[in-house]
Amino acid sequence: MSDVKKVVLAYSGGLDTSVIVKWLQEEYQCEVVTFTADLGQGEEVEPARAKAQALGVKEIYIEDLREEFVRDFVFPMFRANTVYEGEYLLGTSIARPLIAKRLIEIANETGADAISHGATGKGNDQVRFELGAYALKPGVKVIAPWREWDLTSRETLMNYCKEHNIPVDFSNAKKKSPYSMDANLLHISYEGDLLEDPWATAEDDMWRWSVSPEQAPDEATIIELGFEKGDAVSINGEKMSPATILETLNKLGGANGIGRDDLVENRFVGMKSRGCYETPGGTILLKAHRAMESITLDREAAHLKDEIMPRYAKVIYNGFWWSEERRMLQALIDASQEFVTGSVRLKLYKGNVIVEGRESPYSLFDSKVATFEDDAGAYDQKDAAGFIKLNALRMRIAAQKGRTFLDRK
């Protein structure tokens, strides 16, 4: 007899998690609470209620977390201009700490002593869910069925459904996309099937959110993105909520062929993985935010942010959102955003995001100093000679001691 009396399951309503509900009930002889999150994946989440009820679930949580997701997770990450391994905008990674948080909160509310998820034993998500859970509730038990059961394919899952009278639309299950997909307001990802060959070209009809650059309009779309303390707050002068801004940028970017990426990344568990991603709104947001910082951040502050960004990206990718180091890095990043306020004008054209202008009441750009025309004494060019000689001093001394590069082979 299992010591688990009640478990909270991250439940999508799909084939895998429907099997998990029944498997938990039978294997652990426990009550299952389901939690379904609307993070802007573009699909109705309410049908999950009927599916859970048909499986005998009494406590069902279905929640709209779109605003919290963008406000408290996506935007803080974008203040750092976060990119993993030079390309990945962390669309899946940044959603997991929020789901982990709600799993634990619901466990506390319902008196559950365990949580469960449908992540496989090969991926990063198992790590992200569980690191978050342990950080927020150290004694919680985590049940990961894919690491325990012997159901290893879609066919075995469907057979399990038939044997246990689990209501699943088998025709839809068989017609399901061949790719493993994850979607939220920040991105949609594709893995598996054809993409397991890193040389193979992704099929054009795979992409859901964007047209190809070749099919994008011949006329550019011009937008103005407003920022306050590092966060986007308006589009073309219209104030919007965080989730609405990202949703709107997704539509604008997707219509202009923006945000597609095809990459091979290094998973935390040790293997390389090829994935394709659509992040139209995030691609626009990243370009605009960097443009905003270009006139409002001090040089050394900007360079320091660029130095710590890869570390911050790795922390999020590996699942350490709820760690002390992430909180420390976040405090530094947030402090840098005090004056990152103003507007950026962008041109969206055939897969490109082009900055056309930027302005801020806190701009550090001084045209009187930077001008190529007469600066009326704002900058004494003679000062540059001493500056250069002082910076060259160590290299001149080394050269005088025979440490020249011309003679080295």
- Catalytic residue, from 71, 113, 180, 326: name it: 180
Is residue 256 part of an annotated ligand binding site?
A: no
Is residue 177 part of an annotated ligand binding site?
A: no
Is residue 2 part of an annotated ligand binding site?
A: no
Q: 286: closest CA among 339, 353, 239, 349?
A: 353
- Verify whether residue 234 is a known catalytic residue: no
3-state DSSP helix/strand/coil % of the chain, to nearest 5: 45, 20, 35
- Verify whether residue 193 is a known catalytic residue: no
- Catalytic residue, from 38, 116, 125, 343: name it: 125
Is residue 93 part of an annotated ligand binding site?
A: yes
Q: Is 98 helix (H, G, I), strand (E, B) or coil?
A: helix
How far is residue 113's CA from residue 3's CA, in Å, rounded to a whole number? 9
Is residue 123 part of an annotated ligand binding site?
A: no
Is residue 16 part of an annotated ligand binding site?
A: yes
Is residue 133 part of an annotated ligand binding site?
A: no
Contacts of residue 352, defined as CB under 8 A and 6 or more positions apart, other chains included, come to 213, 258
- Verify whether residue 212 is a known catalytic residue: no
Is residue 171 part of an annotated ligand binding site?
A: no
Is residue 120 part of an annotated ligand binding site?
A: yes
- Catalytic residue, from 38, 66, 79, 96: name it: 96
CA 101 to chain centre: 16
C-alpha pair distances (Å), 204 with each of 208, 239, 317: 9, 35, 27
How far is residue 286's CA from residue 283's CA, in Å, rounded to a whole number? 5
Is residue 17 part of an annotated ligand binding site?
A: yes
- Verify whether residue 367 is a known catalytic residue: no
CA 314 to chain centre: 12
Q: 77: closest CA among 91, 66, 64?
A: 91
Is residue 100 part of an annotated ligand binding site?
A: no
Is residue 15 part of an annotated ligand binding site?
A: yes
Is residue 13 part of an annotated ligand binding site?
A: yes
Q: 80: closest CA among 227, 231, 263?
A: 231
Binding-site residues for L-aspartate: 120, 124-125
Binding-site residues for L-citrulline: 88, 93, 124, 128, 180, 189, 265, 277
| Residues annotated as catalytic (active site), given as ranges | 16, 96, 125, 180
Binding-site residues: 10-18, 37, 88, 93, 118, 120, 124-125, 128, 180, 189, 265, 277
Binding-site residues for ATP: 10-18, 37, 118
